[in-house]
Structure 1
Amino acid sequence: MSDFNERTQANLKTVLEETCRELPTGGDHETRKYIAEHLIEAARSGKTTLGELRR
């Protein structure tokens, strides 16, 4: 994740937490990992704002 600037890293963490908060018990490790991988993929494709990552 060090490929991203501080703002993008913060946005990724925020959206991961928001998304997992909606899951029972905050999501298990595998679910959180799956979501994080998809968020990172989105960020690598240029979607780095909170709005873009939340879609």
Structure 2
Amino acid sequence: MITDTFDSRTLANMEVALERGCLLLPTGGEAHRARRIIAAKIIECANRGETTLSRLTEAGYAAAMQLNASGQSVRKKEVSS
């Protein structure tokens, strides 16, 4: 379980980073899937030992931007429809 892997400060940083990354996403049916993808990228970052809030947030933003660029977000699909 993730709570066994990271200390409380890192977990708090990860949570904030996830929320910040998700701010770049539209709301809708794909939001849960996209949130899981962003969370996975943040966990990968933390597993590499990069646990500062700024680095975790950067990883979350990068994942969200990649989702938006690849057309996997609801907003992107709506615009292209």
Identity %: 44
Q: Which residue, 41, 50, 53 being the options, matches 2:53?
A: 50
Using the TM superposition, give the Cα deviation of residue 5 of structure 1 relative to its aligned residue in structure 2, in angstroms: 0.3
- How many residue pairs match? The answer is 55
Q: In 2, distance between residues paired with 1:22 and 1:34?
A: 13
**Higher RCO, 1 vs 2 (CA within 8 Å, ≥6 residues apart):** 1
Structure 1 residues without counterparts, runs of 5 or longer: none
Question: Aligned match of 1:17 in 11, 16, 19?
Answer: 19
TM-score, structure 2 normalization: 0.62
Q: Which runs of 4 or more aligned residues in structure 1 lie more than 6 Å from their structure 2 counterparts after TM superposition? A: none
